[in-house]
Amino acid sequence: MAAVNHDQPLGELISDLCQPAELKGRRVRALEPLSPDDSRLLAAVNRGEFAINGFRNRDLRSLLFGTAEVAGAELKRQGARTTRQIRMLRAHHLIRKVSKTHRYTLTAKGHLAINALLAAQQSSPQQLAQLAA
């Protein structure tokens, strides 16, 4: 929660995340921080176990889709979807690739934005109104 202690308003902090971005010349969709899918993705990449070594596609896939046995085609579909989600997070500069590995870690901007969004989602409207006053 220490990363949330920042002077910039949440709206300014996430305004560029809610716009489409580009990664290597390809358009990437905007992040929808209040949607259930994107909230689950943000919470997954923000887990403490990934703070030191980072995470892989396989790690996120098991968190997002569960660990139940699935057929080969479904496993491939889940892996492809996770790849697109990782690409979206990279395009918005929330994560970076660890060189010479298949791992990703949160950037400083990612820590700040994700912690602020998750804290805002856990707050009641009354708590948010008190902060605004």
CATH classification at residue 64:
1.10.10
What's residue 6's pLDDT? Answer: 63
The CA distance from 54 to 59, in Å, is 10
Mean pLDDT of all residues in 18-35: 92
Q: What is the span of the domain harbouring residue 47?
A: 2-132
**How many structural domains is the chain composed of?**
1
- Residue 11 pLDDT greater than 90, yes or no: no
pTM: 0.86
Burial class (CB in 10 A: 0-12, 13-18, 19+), 106: buried
Q: What is the pLDDT of residues 93-123, one digit of tens each?
A: 999 999 999 999 999 999 999 998 888 888 8
Tokens of 17: 């995340």
- Residue 128 pLDDT greater than 70, yes or no: yes
What's residue 3's pLDDT? Answer: 44
Nearest Cα neighbor of 67 from 58, 76, 57, 55 is: 58
Tokens of 39: 């909230």
